[in-house]
Chain A
Amino acid sequence: MNPARAVLATVTGRPVETITADRRLADLGLDSIGRLTLAVLLEEKTGRPVPDAVLLKVVTVADLEKVATPEGQPA
Chain B
Amino acid sequence: MDENTADVVVVGSGLLGLSTAFELLTRGLEVMIVGPRTGTHNGQASRAAGAMLTVFSEVEAGHSPERVRLEVGERVAARGLYDGWLAALSKASGRALPLVPGVWVIGNGYGANDIDHLKAIAAAAESHGSAAEFGSPADVPGLLPQIRAQDALWLPAEASIDPTALMEALTIVLTASPRCRWLNTTAVNVREHGEHLAVQAADNAVVRAAHLVLAAGSATPELLEPALAQRTAIPALWSGRGVSLLVRTAMELPYAVRTPNRGFACGSHMVPRGGDLVYLGATNRLSTEPDYGRNATLDEVATLIHDASAELNTGLRDAEIVKVRVGHRPVTPDHLPLFGRTGHPMVHLATGTYRCGVLLAPHAARLIADGITAPTSVGEHAYSPRRQILTPSLEDLIASSVRGLVEMLCQPGGSLPAGSEQTLERFLDAGLREIATGSSPRAAAVRRLWERAPMAECLPLLIDVAGRLR
Contacts and interface: CB of A to CB of B under 8 A. Distances in A.
A and B part of one assembly: yes
Contacts of A34: 468
Interface residues of B, number: 14
Contacts of B464: 33
Given A32-B287, A32-B288, A37 B469 contact: yes
Given A32-B288, A33-B461, A41 B449 contact: no
Contact of B468 (A33, A39, A43, A44): A33
A36 interface: yes
Contacts of A44: 441, 444
B469 A40 contact: yes
A32 B448 CA distance: 12
A37 B445 contact: yes
Contacts of A11: 468
A40 B448 contact: yes
Nearest to B445: A40
Contacts of B444: 40, 43-44
Given A41-B441, A43-B444, A52-B452, A36 B465 contact: yes
Interface in A1-39: 11, 32-34, 36-37, 39
A50 to B, nearest CB: 10
Nearest to A56: B289
B447 to A, nearest CB: 10
Nearest to A34: B468
A36 B445 contact: yes
Interface residues of A, number: 12
Main secondary structure of the interface of B (DSSP, over half): helix
A36 to B, nearest CB: 6
Interface in B425-453: 441, 444-445, 448-449, 452
Q: Max chain B CB contacts within 10 Å: which of A32, A34, A41, A44?
A: A32
Contact of A40 (B287, B289, B441, B461): B441
Contacts of A52: 452
Nearest to A32: B289
Contacts of A41: 441, 469
Nearest to B222: A56
Nearest to B465: A33
Contacts of A39: 448
Contacts of B448: 36, 39-40
Contacts of B469: 37, 40-41
A23 to B, nearest CB: 19
Q: Which of A33, A34, A41, A44 has the most CB of B within 10 A?
A: A33
Nearest to A41: B441
B468 A37 contact: yes
Contacts of A37: 445, 465, 468-469
Given A36-B448, A37-B468, A40-B445, 17 more contacts: A11-B468, A32-B287, A32-B289, A33-B449, A33-B461, A33-B464, A33-B465, A33-B468, A36-B449, A36-B465, A37-B465, A37-B469, A41-B441, A41-B469, A43-B441, A43-B444, A52-B452
25 contacts: A11-B468, A32-B287, A32-B289, A33-B449, A33-B461, A33-B464, A33-B465, A33-B468, A34-B468, A36-B449, A36-B465, A37-B445, A37-B465, A37-B469, A39-B448, A40-B441, A40-B444, A40-B445, A40-B448, A40-B469, A41-B469, A43-B444, A44-B441, A44-B444, A52-B452
Interface of A: 11, 32-34, 36-37, 39-41, 43-44, 52
